[in-house]
A and B are shown apart, each in its own frame.
Chain A
């Protein structure tokens, strides 16, 4: 049997494999950034729940059942049931899908829109820059949630409108950060050289400036993700986001939860816990990403 057979240099083989190197990198990340790793774990768990909701969820998220109203957490319904007899755990798992989709879509649209405006503003300079910055200043005069509320009021409640309402307030915030990095990137000699050999503005912007702003762009994108999930939850809680019967976390806390708080506290506790955990995870992950990508913070003593 091969059990006792000594293998010559098994470790060396492992060193070369890509898989091994990935494990080493992950292990290093976990050791040096425990909070970031915890965040990443939460994010991965959430993505897993969102993708495999159909297999993971024990019940139907929409089926109403009067007989199962307000069942306390038991072995059959781990987190209890709501006022319509729907399984809370199932709705939380499907809720991950809604939260992740709206969060990703709106922060991607907002951060990308802001990044494009930021690069254009910095590259073209002059009057374009001046006017764009004034418009951004004006948009920044509105607190994030208030602007989102106003947009939802105007556009009405639907999924695309909700995404837009969460994305638009992100634009001026990203534009500002990206503009300042693009301004310094623009001063590089190779940008001047590219212009000198006759590259078009579009080419210079995409080939020579955009790579330089990827770090701040990614930082803002991840930083906004948690915020976007929170904004969606807040809007849904206020009754101005996703509508029943969508299993949205904010919505689960909106109508019934505070009213039945005494009778069925699990309705108030679990959705809030999941929202907090998700935003917490994204924020931790984003923080560590910023530490890793920001050269100013990289070599901390």
Chain B
């Protein structure tokens, strides 16, 4: 097992370097460069060409592209992401301030949506083409169709009218002030979670549907077992593996959902940080955040794969 984990970790490296390369090339397509942005030349002001050249040398922009890439990669490895053009603070610091909030929403939304989605999806599959199935399907397709920002706006509308709600000014940590933290994050978690639950319920339904057609399920029925035993002990147990994958795929939806949800609820998390950075054309921050998100995404998928291998007796760790 350990050998397998190490091997998978090593296989991750080319993907990560490739992702970094994609981001690097993408950010280099931008007309003009970071030096021009720092001086403010893109605003159309007067630029001192000598100062610009000096800054470019300072930032290493006059060196060949591959050298710039390797330098950047090395600084990423040392966790030195440079400074934000907008605030002037180190980017790593800015990320660390916002990470707990985003992480908390992500984790709770995943847990809650999984708890809701798996029973619902299973129920819909077992009662295929009955009203139960239709209700679950409509709710879950609705979850995919309703944009997270609209759910958020509707919730805010409701809260403002009935509870005189105002956006939180400062993030209250779950460890210091659990109640305040709950009040701040329960609605964003519901917003993100609904969408995730929809994705998970749909996938659970289709996997259970497939499993229910297997021969051993027919055997279980033929033995005269009760429906509950057939579904829970036979079908769901085997549909459980794909469900792990579902949690993995949810992460992709989760990140997109977080960006818009944090913006709607004006929460100071990583998603909103990214939107702000794009609006300010704070390229170093955008570059770092995209890299950070891609890395976390790859990492979560690795964990999902490992869990899969761990639970599935048919997969050998070689």
Whether A associates with B in a native complex is yes
**Which residues of A are at the interface with B, using a C-beta cutoff of 8 A?**
35, 134-135, 137-139, 141-146, 149-155, 226, 230, 233-234, 237-240, 250, 253, 257-258, 261-262, 265, 268-269, 272, 275-280, 283-284, 287, 301
In the complex, the answer to whether B22 meets A143 with C-beta atoms within 8 Å is: no
Q: Looking across the interface, which residue of chain B has its beta carbon closest to that of A261?
A: B157
In the complex, the answer to whether A276 meets B14 with C-beta atoms within 8 Å is: no
Q: Is B90 an interface residue (CB 8 A)?
A: no
**Which residues of B are at the interface with A, using a C-beta cutoff of 8 A?**
14-16, 18-19, 21-23, 26-27, 29-30, 134, 137-138, 141-142, 144-150, 153-154, 156-157, 160-161, 213, 251-253, 255-256, 259-260, 263-264, 274-275, 278-279, 281, 283, 286, 290, 293-294, 297-298
Nearest-neighbour CB distance to chain A for B210, whole angstroms, equals: 9
In the complex, the answer to whether A261 meets B286 with C-beta atoms within 8 Å is: no
Instruction: Please tell me which one of the listed residues B15, B147, B283 contacts residue A233 in the complex, with CB atoms under 8 A apart.
Output: B147
Nearest-neighbour CB distance to chain B for A51, whole angstroms, equals: 22
Taken together as a complex, chains A and B put the C-alpha atoms of A154 and B14 apart, in Å, by 24
In the complex, the answer to whether A280 meets B145 with C-beta atoms within 8 Å is: yes
Taken together as a complex, chains A and B put the C-alpha atoms of A260 and B259 apart, in Å, by 22
Nearest-neighbour CB distance to chain B for A135, whole angstroms, equals: 7
Residues of chain B within 8 A of A144, CB atoms compared:
252, 256
Nearest-neighbour CB distance to chain B for A41, whole angstroms, equals: 15
* With contact pairs A234-B260, A280-B141 given, residues A146 and B147 touching in the complex (Cβ less than 8 Å): no
In the complex, the answer to whether A230 meets B153 with C-beta atoms within 8 Å is: no
* With contact pairs A138-B18, A143-B297, A234-B260 given, residues A253 and B149 touching in the complex (Cβ less than 8 Å): yes
In the complex, the answer to whether B156 meets A226 with C-beta atoms within 8 Å is: no
What are 23 sample pairs from A and B whose C-beta atoms fall under 8 A apart? Answer: A134-B14, A138-B18, A142-B22, A143-B297, A145-B256, A146-B256, A146-B293, A146-B294, A149-B275, A149-B290, A154-B26, A155-B29, A234-B147, A237-B260, A237-B263, A253-B150, A261-B153, A272-B149, A276-B147, A277-B145, A283-B144, A284-B141, A301-B213
Taken together as a complex, chains A and B put the C-alpha atoms of A35 and B129 apart, in Å, by 11
In the complex, the answer to whether A152 meets B255 with C-beta atoms within 8 Å is: no
* With contact pairs A138-B18, A258-B153, A280-B145 given, residues A153 and B161 touching in the complex (Cβ less than 8 Å): no
Taken together as a complex, chains A and B put the C-alpha atoms of A107 and B278 apart, in Å, by 24
In the complex, the answer to whether B26 meets A141 with C-beta atoms within 8 Å is: no
Instruction: Please tell me which one of the listed residues B22, B278, B294 contacts residue A240 in the complex, with CB atoms under 8 A apart.
Output: B278
Instruction: Please tell me which one of the listed residues B21, B149, B253, B283 contacts residue A237 in the complex, with CB atoms under 8 A apart.
Output: B149
In the complex, the answer to whether B154 meets A272 with C-beta atoms within 8 Å is: yes
In the complex, the answer to whether B153 meets A135 with C-beta atoms within 8 Å is: no
Taken together as a complex, chains A and B put the C-alpha atoms of A239 and B278 apart, in Å, by 10
Nearest-neighbour CB distance to chain A for B102, whole angstroms, equals: 13
Top 3 A-B residue pairs of the complex, sorted by shortest distance between their CB atoms: A272-B150, A145-B256, A138-B18
In the complex, the answer to whether B153 meets A272 with C-beta atoms within 8 Å is: yes
Nearest-neighbour CB distance to chain A for B187, whole angstroms, equals: 13
Residues of chain B within 8 A of A150, CB atoms compared:
23, 26, 286, 290
Nearest-neighbour CB distance to chain A for B8, whole angstroms, equals: 14
Instruction: Please tell me which one of the listed residues A138, A250, A262 contacts residue B19 in the complex, with CB atoms under 8 A apart.
Output: A138
Q: Looking across the interface, which residue of chain B has its beta carbon closest to that of A145?
A: B256
In the complex, the answer to whether A35 meets B137 with C-beta atoms within 8 Å is: yes
5 extra A-B contacts, CB within 8 A, seeds A146-B294, A226-B145: A143-B253, A146-B290, A155-B29, A239-B279, A279-B144
Nearest-neighbour CB distance to chain A for B5, whole angstroms, equals: 19
Nearest-neighbour CB distance to chain A for B218, whole angstroms, equals: 11
Nearest-neighbour CB distance to chain A for B273, whole angstroms, equals: 12
Residues of chain A within 8 A of B161, CB atoms compared:
262
In the complex, the answer to whether B259 meets A261 with C-beta atoms within 8 Å is: no
Q: Looking across the interface, which residue of chain B has its beta carbon closest to that of A135?
A: B18
Nearest-neighbour CB distance to chain A for B291, whole angstroms, equals: 10
Instruction: Please tell me which one of the listed residues B30, B145, B251, B279 contacts residue A154 in the complex, with CB atoms under 8 A apart.
Output: B30
* With contact pairs A234-B147, A268-B153, A276-B147 given, residues A141 and B259 touching in the complex (Cβ less than 8 Å): no
Taken together as a complex, chains A and B put the C-alpha atoms of A277 and B147 apart, in Å, by 10
In the complex, the answer to whether A146 meets B157 with C-beta atoms within 8 Å is: no
In the complex, the answer to whether B30 meets A141 with C-beta atoms within 8 Å is: no
Taken together as a complex, chains A and B put the C-alpha atoms of A155 and B278 apart, in Å, by 12
In the complex, the answer to whether B260 meets A143 with C-beta atoms within 8 Å is: no
* With contact pairs A138-B19, A146-B255 given, residues A230 and B27 touching in the complex (Cβ less than 8 Å): no
Taken together as a complex, chains A and B put the C-alpha atoms of A45 and B283 apart, in Å, by 42
Q: Looking across the interface, which residue of chain A has its beta carbon closest to that of B299?
A: A141
Taken together as a complex, chains A and B put the C-alpha atoms of A233 and B145 apart, in Å, by 11
Taken together as a complex, chains A and B put the C-alpha atoms of A150 and B213 apart, in Å, by 43
Residues of chain B within 8 A of A239, CB atoms compared:
275, 279
Instruction: Please tell me which one of the listed residues A138, A149, A238, A276 contacts residue B15 in the complex, with CB atoms under 8 A apart.
Output: A138
* With contact pairs A149-B274, A226-B145, A284-B141 given, residues A258 and B290 touching in the complex (Cβ less than 8 Å): no
Taken together as a complex, chains A and B put the C-alpha atoms of A269 and B279 apart, in Å, by 26
Residues of chain B within 8 A of A135, CB atoms compared:
18
In the complex, the answer to whether A230 meets B18 with C-beta atoms within 8 Å is: no
Instruction: Please tell me which one of the listed residues A141, A142, A155, A275 contacts residue B147 in the complex, with CB atoms under 8 A apart.
Output: A275
Taken together as a complex, chains A and B put the C-alpha atoms of A198 and B134 apart, in Å, by 53
In the complex, the answer to whether B22 meets A138 with C-beta atoms within 8 Å is: yes
Residues of chain B within 8 A of A275, CB atoms compared:
145-147, 150
Taken together as a complex, chains A and B put the C-alpha atoms of A60 and B22 apart, in Å, by 44
Nearest-neighbour CB distance to chain B for A151, whole angstroms, equals: 7
Nearest-neighbour CB distance to chain A for B51, whole angstroms, equals: 25
